[in-house]
Structure 1
């Protein structure tokens, strides 16, 4: 039986693969445990300079498994309670890694799959990608970071409309709203993802991590606090080997070799 989530490593790029295409990569206990293991392994891997999250099949993720929900019966709330704690902790770990995270959204994404797709720093989408809330249609509420990440991208009013109405949004609509970073033809998604991941892996990883820290928390800080953090991180960056190499490469008119 194939693993519902896989971890692949190619050079400096670690890739987490949702691998239940026959079940639309839906989230259930088995896939959750496999995903958590992959995220824990990535977080413990010091050589990973970029992380990619992608899926096999024609759908990125259908959200929570309705079969799993139905089988829960009277124990469903307790089983879900036990499942969500570790899953949410793992997604927080993935979203806050000090390296760039890219999601390659190859097709429709629903419910909890939204959180998986949008926990990335950069979300690339195939033209066949569609997004649908789905939760309220079965009497449930968002999980897996989906409400947090979607609200940050589109604002409270549009996020509520998406989750209230469960209308499907096309890839181009998602691009216009800022939900995804870029839309490419389906046949080009893998190559575009690889090219971006490899380019970022050649970058100044320490600086990218500090940029991520600045941007991710900017909306929660006052201007004064943001300026203080910019000050501190700029001084830290200036003391790094990356800065010395970057400046030397610029002056020598060569490509920097960050390590």
Structure 2
């Protein structure tokens, strides 16, 4: 499927999440622009389904997370919460179970993930935006946590990913104080990896995703596992994992092509190896 396009939403342009697989890149797009791409139950279920589908499809080599409109994601749909206050705890539990499972699936899939934050992001949208290996932002991007202002706590991995990128002390301060940060401040703090003019963001993110998709899939997955597990295994076990992956890679066509291309001074063509 590496050279095909699979669009699961061609007949559902009004779906809360759009998804398609194009040249190895699974495009997953939040599509509630009139509601700031807030996460209601339909959006969360559609997002979880799109992530799971991307992970299931053997043709997926990279996942690109993006949004339509001027806001990436405002977080949970507070208007929906207000209409269901009597059952809010149960509602939140029912929403977070499928979302959390999908996020774990994405993180453990080994697939490189790119996010394109096209505008303001808050609440659970932070976790969705920062779960990526490459976080690109537009110059209109702003981050505000907002949880404590409405009496809730972080979700969707927002506390995990923000703490990993900024350190625990600064992450706590952001969650406690709900301090808004613009794109340049986020870049300086390491929350995002690059900032582009709004009109260039999607092109830059797509180009990066395609570049990653051109690399050998198994090599990218193994490398991601090794780096993500650094410090979690003993050094001896980590070295053993490195050895096993190196040996496995050495027996595959991708390494043979890569070595030949290096010797022949040409660009390697991996053909989704």
Q: 1:64 aligns with which of 70, 76, 81?
A: 76
Question: For 2:163 and 2:233, how far apart are their aligned partners in 1?
Answer: 17
Question: For 1:62 and 1:87, how far apart are their aligned partners in 2?
Answer: 16
Preserved contact between residue 101 and residue 121 of structure 1 (Cα < 8 Å): yes
Which residue number corresponds to residue 23 of structure 2?
11
Which residue number corresponds to residue 251 of structure 1?
263
Deviation digits for residues 133-170 of structure 1 (CA, Å, limit 9, x no counterpart): 11011110000011111111111101100100000111
Question: For 1:118 and 1:138, how far apart are their aligned partners in 2?
Answer: 22
**Bigger shift: residues 87-96 or 155-164:** 87-96
More helix by share: 1
Deviation digits for residues 159-182 of structure 1 (CA, Å, limit 9, x no counterpart): 100100000111111112211111
Which residue number corresponds to residue 210 of structure 1?
222
Q: 1:98 aligns with which of 73, 86, 110?
A: 110
Q: Under a length normalisation based on structure 1, what TM-score does the superposition of the two structures give?
A: 0.96
Q: 1:77 aligns with which of 89, 95, 98?
A: 89
Preserved contact between residue 206 and residue 242 of structure 1 (Cα < 8 Å): no
Which residue number corresponds to residue 28 of structure 1?
40
Question: For 2:228 and 2:169, how far apart are their aligned partners in 1?
Answer: 21
Gaps in structure 1 of 5+ consecutive residues = none
Question: For 1:201 and 1:87, how far apart are their aligned partners in 2?
Answer: 25
Gaps in structure 2 of 5+ consecutive residues = 1-12
Per-residue deviation at 1:44?
Answer: 1.4
Per-residue deviation at 1:98?
Answer: 2.2
* Secondary structure class of the residue paired with 1:58: coil
Which residue number corresponds to residue 223 of structure 1?
235
Q: 1:157 aligns with which of 169, 176, 186?
A: 169
Question: For 1:178 and 1:213, how far apart are their aligned partners in 2?
Answer: 22
CA RMSD in angstroms comes to 1.3
Report the number of matched residues.
Answer: 259
